[in-house]
Amino acid sequence: MDATYLLDWANLLLRWAHVVVAIAWIGSSFYFVFLDSSLTPPSDPTLLAKGVDGELWAVHGGGFYNPQKYLMAPKTLPDHLHWFFWESYSTWLTGFALFTLMYLVNARTFLIDVNVHAWASPLAAVAAALVMLLAFWIVYDCICRWAGERQGQVGADARVGLLLLLVVAAASWLACQLFAGRAAFLIVGAMLATAMSANVLFWIIPGQKKVIAQMKAGLAVQAIHGQRAKQRSVHNTYFTLPVLIAMLSNHYGWLYQGRHNWLVLMLLMLAGALIRHSFVARHKALAQGRRVPWEHAAVGCVLLLGLAIWLAPAPQPSVAAGTPAPGFAQVQAIIEQRCLGCHNAQVQQKNVALHTPALVRQHAQAVYQQTAVLKLMPMNNATQITEAERLLIARWFEAGAE
């Protein structure tokens, strides 16, 4: 069986698994942040006597729910506790496997763009990508412990947020100077996702286990474990929308191919974080009977609108009425120069071959979509197709691809 075909199956199944477990993880993250923000102090003396700090009444699926939260810990441990961690680990493992299969194994094609940075070898580019994932986690963790804990809690969130914004901006700029734009966006998203999963692995779950161990030993529960877990959980929910847009961006070449692509990425992620903050603030406002602060989401939407205007393609020169559509020979000449290296009788990337007129016409719509609309092909523009050539292909297709 053809190796490329098997790799395509591996790609499909890994991507499917990654999306499924990511939905489970993000869903639980969103739910618990909503729950924490929506809790109200209980009025029932029985709940107060049990040590319940907040409760919520909800209706869903034909029934009523009454979740309750103990800020430190309940007086006695239940026999069974449900732990939320496999969603996080599964998401990172499937994502890293997919990243390895697509970008690290095929570094020369997907990771490297010689017009951006001339790596000595694909192995050097792979090593740099992995170092960026690890380095971001180390820097992020140091910021959380130094700015979020050592200097007290007053203004801690603002300090951490500002420092993280600067670090992510620097990492985005660096990634876009070293890697192909498509890979750079994905690496920045993977950095944030790695920090999210590391938060669960190194702080959230271990902190909860220490609380349980202290309770079983009859010791006083240390509040720092719960505070750290809450801090990292909140960070994780703010990272979700920036990570998602970074991952989805690889489908839209006009996002990552520009000169200032790192700034495009930062503005996209900032818009996502602002919109997410608006929903977090909304939960708190509704629970406390205050006005919902939609202005954060409004700023995020304005950023997206500004990006759409900024990235809008320049108007193409108008074609005089009666001008004949480009002929097939013109299109074929472009395809032979720009596309046949990966789509010929011997090499048929994505099962697409373009070495005969019949095959070009058969795949005309895909050629139009990938080169003229999405501008994803050629990959990393390795063959230096020009905007005029993309426009010629578009005119040919829109005229009927004759």
Domain-wise residue ranges, the chain: 89-310, 328-398
Chain segment 248-304, per-residue pLDDT in tens = 998 888 899 888 999 999 999 999 999 999 999 998 888 888 888 899 999 999 999
Given a cut of 70, is residue 319 above it in pLDDT?
no
Q: What is the pLDDT of residues 368-401, one digit of tens each?
A: 988 888 888 888 787 888 888 898 888 898 888 8
Here the tokens at position 94 are 């499937």
Lowest mean pLDDT among 128-132, 185-189, 361-365: 361-365
Residue 217 confidence class, pLDDT cut points 50, 70, 90: confident
Question: What's the Cα-to-Cα distance from 162 to each of 105, 126, 188, 240, rounded to whole Å?
Answer: 36, 30, 17, 18
Q: Please list the residues that pair with 55 across neighbouring strands.
A: 40, 68
Q: Which one, of 282, 80, 269, 283, lies nearest residue 184 by Cα?
A: 269
Rounded (10°) angle between helices 295-310 and 261-288:
160
% of the chain at pLDDT higher than 90 = 55
Note the pLDDT of residue 199. 97
In contact, 175 and 262? CB cutoff 8 Å: yes
Count CA atoms within 13 Å of residue 292 on its CB side: 12
335-351 mean pLDDT: 85
